[in-house]
Structure 1
Amino acid sequence: MKIKATLDRIPGGMMVVPLLLAATINTFFPNALRIGGFTEALFVNSASALIALFLLIAGTQITFKTAGTSVKKGVTLLTFKWGIGAGIGLIALLLADSNGLFLGLAPLAIIAAMTNSNGGLYIALAGQYGKEDDKAAYPFLALSDGPFLTMVALAIFGTMGFTQGMFTITDFVAVLLPLLVGIAIGNLDKDMGDFLYKGSDKLVPFFAFALGMGINFKSIIQGGISGILLGVLTVLLTGGIGYFIFKWLRWNPIVGTAEGSTAGNAVGTPMAIAAANASFMPMAEIATVQVAASVVTTAILLPIFIGFLAKRLEKKHGKPVKEINATM
């Protein structure tokens, strides 16, 4: 049975198939793998640990001379993701109808969904299609976790005051430390770095499965067509524009597209905003279900979209996407 060959033929298959399989199990049989022991530890609760290990291994391939590229890519990813989400959110606020909605979407949902990216999905896609400095850009993306950047956008628009305490330096260090440990190992002993690197790609289907165990297809139903639309727009706009920005900068454009998702923790953002400013409470409930639908939609659609783009690039250049860098 040619499992790997089959997965390789599916756009983003090494990521998409385990994720969808897990999401199906979680939707219809949520307790099937939540039985404790090694089973639950590996198949349900392992995403954070495996992503941290993946990040550490990526760090072993980063030299002090090339670390600057990772910083540039991380800051670029964070900036354009926030800028696009905030800009479209502002347009939605200005053009909202009498019910406070734009195309059936709550502006709060648009900003929350488009400014907050799924770090695990980014790591998986960057690992499959990018290089080590692409993976090492991830810690900067942690700045988009939670409602912090959504509140910054709203504060800039004059809609609410800036709220302190949503993101701390400790949070950033906690994400950055595994990468720094990996960089130290790789620079101290290249052979140890090469030894660890050999197993990095094998982690992808496992943490993809664990990520899928946090997805429930019912969220799409609850969010309705508007929630699906939000997910599609997030992929096409933040992911699509990211593709062209990275292409213009002569970086691997697939990595720029990998930011076109909505993080699972963004689901809590509308309520967090409403808790900080009660004027948002009437929109918080509908925004929450729309963001939840966007989380699921982007998790499914983005790997497929990237797989399609990757196939086109490989056909055009005649070599794997990982080797297509600075040659656009």
Structure 2
Amino acid sequence: MKIKATLDRIPGGMMVVPLLLAATINTFAPNLLRIGNFTEALFVNSASALIALFLLCAGAQINVRSAGIALGKGFTLLFVKWAVGALVGLIAYIAAGPSGLFLGLTPLAIIAAMTNSNGGLYMAIVGQYGKEDDKAAYSLLALNDGPFLTMVALSIFGAMGFVDGMFSIVSFISVLLPIAIGMILGNLDNEMREFLAKGSDMLIPFFAFALGMGIDFGAIIKGGLSGVLLGVATVLLTGTAGYLIFKAFGWNPLVGAAEGSTAGNAVATPAAIAAANASFASVADLATVQVAASTVTTAILLPIYIAFLAKRLEKKNKLQQYYQLPN
């Protein structure tokens, strides 16, 4: 049975198939693999550890002389993601007000979903389509985890004052450290670089499966059509913006599009915002389910969108050039 060959024929198959398989299991038989010990540790709870190891292996492949490019890509991704989400949120805020609805969506849900990206999904996509400095760019993307950038956008809009304590420098360093350790090992010893290079590709289907075990298709039903609309808009607007900006810079545009998702931890953002400012309490519950629906929708749709974009580049004989361009 040629399992790997079959997965290779599916665009993004090494990431998409395990993720969707796990999401299906988690939705219809959530306790099937939650039986403790090694099984649960590997297939359910391993995403963070495997992504950290993936980052270390990727960091080992980065020549310290090119680290600035990785930071440039990371900042570009971070800014484009935030700017698009904040702009759409601002339009919704102006049209509906903080307690109203814009196309059935709360402005709070729009900003929370569009400014916060799924780092694991980004790493899975970039692991298949990107280079080592594309993976290292993830270190800066830790800044959009949680409610911090959502609150920055809201404070700019004058909807609330800036609230301290929503971003931890320790959390940021904890994301950066595995990459830094990998870079040190790889730059000190070429044999260590070669040894760690073997780990990156192998880890992708395993952490993709673990990510899928955190997805429940039922969230789409709870969030309703508006939540699905939010997920589609997040992929098309923030993903396409990243694609176009990266293409304009001569970087791999698929990496730019890989930010077009909503992170699972964004589901907690409306409650965090409401706790900081009571004026959002009336919409926090609705915003929460809409963000949850967006999380699931983007997890399914973004890999498909990336595969579509990759096929377009391949038909134009442009896909290979991004692997050959110096990063």
Q: Verify same fold: TM over 0.5.
A: yes
What 5-or-longer segments of structure 1 have no aligned partner?
Answer: none
Aligned partner of 1:57 in structure 2 is: 57
Note if 1:130 corresponds to 2:109.
no
Listed as ranges, the matches of 1:130-279 within 5 Å are: 130-279=130-279
State how far apart, in whole Å, the 2-side matches of 1:62 and 1:326 are: 12
Residue type at the aligned position of 2:82? W
Q: Give 1:98 shift.
A: 10
Contact 2:98–2:106 (CA under 8 A) maintained in structure 1:
no
In structure 2, the CA distance between the partners of 1:42 and 1:241, relative to structure 1 (3 Å rule), is same
Letter matched to residue 204 of structure 1: I
Identity %: 72
Structure 2 Cα separation of the partners of residues 105 and 301 of structure 1: 19
Alpha-carbon distance between aligned partners in 2 of 1:274 and 1:60, rounded to the nearest angstrom = 41
The whole-number CA distance in structure 2 between the counterparts of 1:245 and 1:273 is 30
Aligned partner of 1:76 in structure 2 is 76
Letter in 2 for 1:312: R
Displacement of 1:191 after TM fit?
A: 1.4
- Does residue 316 (structure 1) correspond to residue 326 (structure 2)? The answer is no
- 1:207 deviates by 0.2
Amino acid at match of 1:252: N
User: What is the number of equivalent residue pairs in this alignment?
Assistant: 327
Q: Give me the CA root mean square deviation.
A: 1.5
> Using the alignment, how far apart are the partners of 1:152 and 1:132 within structure 2?
30
**Residue deviations 1:200-223, cap 9 Å, x none?**
101100000000000000000000
User: Could you report, residue by residue, the CA deviation over 1:37-88 in whole angstroms, capped at 9, with x for unpaired residues?
Assistant: 1100100010000000000011111111100000100000001100110110
Change (3 A) 1:263 1:98: closer
Does the CA-based 8 Å contact 2:92-2:102 persist in structure 1?
yes
CA contact (8 A) 1:220 1:296 kept: yes
Question: Which residue of 2 is the match for residue 117 of structure 1?
Answer: 117
Q: 1:309 to 1:19 in 2, by over 3 A?
A: same
Superposition deviation, residue 148 in structure 1 = 0.6
Structure 2 spans left out of the alignment, 5+ residues: none
1:113-144 CA distance string (max 9 Å, x none): 00000000001111100000000000100000
AA in 1 matched with 2:121: L
Letter in 2 for 1:283: V
TM-score by length of 1: 0.97
TM superposition shift of 1:9: 2.1
Shift of 1:318: 6.2
Task: State the TM-score, normalized to the length of structure 2.
Answer: 0.97
Whole-angstrom CA distance in 2 between matches of 1:192 and 1:152: 41
Maintained 8 Å contact 1:104/1:226? yes
Aligned-partner SS, 1:65: helix
